[in-house]
Structure 1
Amino acid sequence: MTKATANLLYSKEHEWVEQLEGNRVRIGISDYAQKALGDIVFVENPAIDDEVIVNESMGTIESVKAVSELYSPVSGTVVAVNEELEGAPETINENPFKAGWLVEVEVSNPEELESLLNEEEYEAFTNEGEE
């Protein structure tokens, strides 16, 4: 079973979304994704004030296995970036749901959140290929 957190929403690209105050969300990658990637060695996040578009690339994450695209689960403007990851990208492996968050976005279209998966749906989605 993949470790997930009940108050989060998930994309099928394995990003999680935590709703903060107003239309602000925090985005990271799931425990499932960090395990599949292996040891993370570099993260390229968007910059503050960059616009991100739902289901489009917003950066990359590099592990010892591969370089993978980071897809934005929502559209909006980046309002915060986890700068700690520049010097310690392995934080994502150690704590993907708290210290390993990637960016915060001011969502421009809150309806997009409705298309994301809840914890139970995400668990079912990640377990489909394991049966």
Structure 2
Amino acid sequence: MARYFTDEHEWIDVEGDSATVGITDYAQEQLGDIVFVELPDTGTMLEKGGDAAVVESVKAASDVYAPISGEVMEANGSLEDDPALVNTSPEEDGWFFKMTIGDKSQLEGLMDDKSYKSFCDSL
């Protein structure tokens, strides 16, 4: 499984023709305590860079963007009952949604782990 990152602090795990998306540990640290997550509905068509979800913390609300285009196959229902999973396990159990990959070439502009760490260090 390959993991990529966006400059908006989303991660995307790619496995075959599907992908899992969430926000990074860096993003959840910046947001603080997550109190609510609004997830896309199954079947929603997402465009790369378009709004995909909303995260609300005690500090602010923030949009989560689609790292690539594709169709939402599943939303993480656990976040409705326990949005704090985004804080405690942002890059594992706190995933937001799973999607089909509409265009694999869109992955080419995303960062790998090393590039993303350098990006965060420069902020």
User: TM exceeds 0.5?
Assistant: yes
Correspondence 1:73-88 to 2 at 5 A: 73-88=67-82
**Structure 1 unaligned blocks of 5 or more:** 1-5
The correspondence for 1:41, drawn from 32, 35, 54, is: 35
> Who is 1:51 aligned against?
45
- Whether 1:125 aligns to 2:103 is no
SS of alignment partner, residue 101 of structure 1: coil
Deviation at 1:7, TM superposition (A): 4.4
- Report the equivalent of 1:18: 13
Give the letter aligned to residue 35 of structure 2: V
Deviations 1:17-62 (A, max 9, x none): 0012x21000000000000000000001110000011011112100
Q: 1:8 is paired with a residue of what secondary structure?
A: strand
Deviation at 1:95, TM superposition (A): 0.4
Amino acid at match of 2:91: F
Q: Please give the alpha-carbon distance, in whole angstroms, between the structure 1 residues aligned to 2:53 and 2:114.
A: 27
Counterparts of 2:2 and 2:34, CA distance in 1: 25
Match of 1:35, SS? Answer: helix
TM-score normalized with structure 2 length:
0.97
Could you tell me how far apart the structure 2 residues matched to 1:63 and 1:23 are? 32
- Deviating beyond 6 angstroms after TM superposition, the runs of 4 or more aligned structure 1 residues are none
What is the CA–CA distance in structure 1 between the aligned matches of 2:69 and 2:3, rounded to whole Å?
17
TM-score (norm 1): 0.91
SS in 1 for 2:86: helix
Give the 5 Å matches for 1:57-96: 57-96=51-90
Secondary structure of the 2:118 match is helix
Q: Distance in 2 between matches of 1:107 and 1:8?
A: 14
Query: Match for 1:44: what amino acid?
Result: E
Work out the CA distance in 2 between the residues paired with 1:7 and 1:47: 25
1:107 paired with 2:110, answer no
Runs of 5+ consecutive residues of structure 2 not aligned to the other structure: none
How much identity, in percent, do the aligned residues show? 36
SS in 2 for 1:80: strand
